[in-house]
Chains A and B, each alone.
Chain A
Amino acid sequence: MGAASAPLIELRGISKHFGSGDTRVDALRGVSIAIEPATVVGLLGPSGSGKSTLLNVIGCITEPSEGWMKLDGEVVYDGRWLRRNLPRLRLEKIGFIFQFHNLLPFLTAVENVAAVLDLAGERRAAALARAEELLDYLQVGRRKHAKPAKLSGGEAQRVAIARALANRPRIVLADEPTAALDSERAGIVMDLLRKVAIERQTAIVVVTHDEKIYGRLDRIYRLRDGVMQAVEERAPAAP
């Protein structure tokens, strides 16, 4: 863990409210966090606590109402977005892992991974080579030509992780990545994420309700009513 390193994700006083007047909802209130490289953190909290909003804010999907945010050394929000092309920002800096893998059903496993590189403008041959390398790294290379419908839940989630890592992002956001998996496969996926975080010096943020994976997190942020209630530092076992 690189606690002494500069944070890859740094939020200061981030607030987000929806609506106004009587219908105003404060989803986030003055949230400040800092997440260093080689760290897997968990965002925990009951439904409506602001976890998804916070994930969307870090993912540059939802614009905060106020605050300051720095991702991978670049200040991206300071009262307003400082980048016009947010899709490009996501493509360059952030990898996403979804609850239900969200692989594109019309692409094979290797094409799903290569798609991210293709969107970034990488040449096809290089994109496919990198995708195959990642699938091999995540031990699902033998299924590279399978369509998502032919993959098991665990295989699909590994392919999704490979896709999230394809563009060498320093930040990975995972939304309930183990919710659709049994405890054994959930453990394997979390171990994989920890391995990725350590080997690739990545900051991984996991939104989860799954208590079984708490033991594999370096830090837990607990949210309630949009307010950061507690931060727990943990010492997970090595993957």
Chain B
Amino acid sequence: MNYALRDIRHNLGRFAMTCVGLSLLLGVVQSMVGIYRGLVEEALVVARAPAADLWVVEAGTQGPFAEASRIPGDAREAIARIEAIAAAGSLTFQSTEADRGGTRLRLYVVGFERGRPGEPEELVAGRPIVRSHFELIVDRRAGLALGEQIRIGRNAFTVVGLVAGHSASGGDPVAYMTLLDAQRLQFELEPSAARVQAARGAPRTQTDTVNAVVARLMPGEDAADVAAVIARWKHLAAMPQSAQENLLTYSLVDRARRQIGLFTVTLLAVSGVIIALVIYTMTMDKLREIATLKLIGAPNRVIVGLILQQTLAMGIAGWAIGRVIVAFAADLFPRRVALLPADTAGLLVIVVILCLAASAISVRVALRVDPATALGG
């Protein structure tokens, strides 16, 4: 006879409400884990999008994401001529605010060369950019529709294609435009500022500058070897894709990662305390029944089982309901929430351990109950 289950059924409303409350807390914990994973994924998605083997950036920098990097636009041609390189493409990266019918929309603009590495390939709607100017491919989370026009800098751009899941490490949706448009946006001065510079006799601003060149290698070539060759040019530095990803994960989002990690641990501790308090209260409410069970001969394992099963039922139900809540609420978050099956399973293990630890005090109290307290008024 399962006493835990029968007691739960007897107090189903109370148990369900407790589970719902706990599920909200465990849902927040799962959200935090999902936000952390989303943060890492978002940080990596722009770096992974070109499907490159090698990143070439300004010498002495760890650009283009962790540090600013500027290299001449013709660097791509020099890099493409290296025997081990199969293809190369120039890229620019820039955060900007677009004007969308009077409201401001933050975008992370990536400038690319058509037909070269860096061009967005998996569109979910629309078509690739075919004109040299003023066409845009944006992540659908920007909320822009195909054919819609927005003003970026001094020009109006038309949305011709949509991609999904392309966000910058800051969470801004990515907008792809031609390299030429992106270079003008990033490096060309406003006319009034250009006039002032010209009046001062300053040389005209060079706009054929890019932030990085990405390259794909010939089969069998080693990225580290090619990076060493490029580094000999002194004005350039190169790093394999894996190094770029490590940099993004452990440098760019490291503080956010630790912050979220600490917050998640705090929430888990709070969950543990709440589970312990709830179970303790439930145990205290049942002391007479526990004393009666002990008096009529129930061994300790029955008493321990009663408490542990209820604690685990509460924890697992809270975890499961929390998982469902997160699954439905993930799209409502302004930033990506990516809950991986391994994380979900890991959290379940943590919840189970937490439940076992949280029930320790209650088990101790229950085992110390004197059967004699069942007697008398």
Contact = CB atoms under 8 A, between A and B. Distances in A.
A104 interface: yes
Given A61-B372, A98-B375, A91 B296 contact: yes
A106 B6 contact: yes
Interface string A80-114: 00000101111110001011101011110001001
Contacts of B289: 102, 104-106
Interface residues of A, number: 35
A154 interface: no
A195 B284 CA distance: 38
A163 B10 CA distance: 20
Contacts of B9: 106
Chain B at the A interface: SS class? helix
A114 B372 CA distance: 22
Contact of B297 (A99, A102, A111, A119): A119
Given A99-B377, A115-B1, A91 B372 contact: no
Contact of B298 (A59, A87, A107, A179): A87
Contacts of B288: 102
B114 to A, nearest CB: 71
A124 interface: yes
A104 B1 contact: no
Interface residues of B, number: 26
A51 B370 CA distance: 17
A19 to B, nearest CB: 16
A1 interface: no
B7 interface: yes
Contacts of A115: 1, 3, 293, 296
Residue in A99, A105, A111, A116 with the greatest tally of chain B CB atoms within 10 Å: A105
Interface in B1-56: 1, 3, 6-7, 9-11
B224 interface: no
B292 A102 contact: yes
Contacts of A61: 295, 370-372, 375
Nearest to A149: B10
A105 B372 CA distance: 19
A175 interface: yes
B377 A91 contact: no
B374 A98 contact: yes
B7 A106 contact: yes
A175 B376 contact: yes
Nearest to A62: B372
B299 interface: yes
Contact of A96 (B10, B296, B298, B299): B296
Nearest to A179: B377
A106 B376 contact: no
B294 interface: yes
B146 interface: no
Contacts of A107: 1, 3, 6
Contacts of B298: 87, 119
B352 interface: no
Nearest to A108: B6
A118 B372 contact: no
Contacts of B302: 119
B377 A111 contact: no
Contacts of A96: 295-296, 374-375
Interface in A34-49: none
Contact of A105 (B10, B296, B299): B10
B23 to A, nearest CB: 23
B297 A87 contact: yes
Contact of A104 (B293, B294, B372): B293
Contacts of B294: 87
A183 B3 CA distance: 35
B292 A104 contact: yes
Interface in B287-315: 288-289, 292-300, 302
Among A61, A89, A107, A175, residue most surrounded by chain B Cβ atoms (within 10 Å): A61
Contacts of B300: 87
A154 B282 CA distance: 29
A55 interface: yes
Contacts of A52: 372, 375-376
A106 B3 CA distance: 8
A174 B320 CA distance: 46
A176 interface: yes
A56 interface: yes
Contact of A147 (B10, B293, B370): B10
Contacts of A118: 1
Contacts of A98: 292, 374-375
22 contacts: A87-B299, A87-B300, A90-B296, A90-B297, A91-B296, A92-B297, A96-B375, A98-B292, A98-B375, A102-B288, A102-B292, A105-B289, A106-B3, A106-B9, A106-B289, A111-B6, A116-B296, A116-B297, A120-B297, A163-B296, A176-B376, A179-B377
Given A115-B3, A147-B10, 20 more contacts: A56-B372, A56-B375, A61-B295, A61-B370, A61-B371, A61-B372, A62-B372, A85-B299, A87-B297, A96-B295, A96-B296, A102-B374, A104-B293, A106-B6, A106-B11, A106-B289, A118-B1, A163-B296, A175-B376, A176-B377
The 4 closest A-B pairs by CB, nearest first: A91-B297, A106-B10, A106-B7, A90-B297
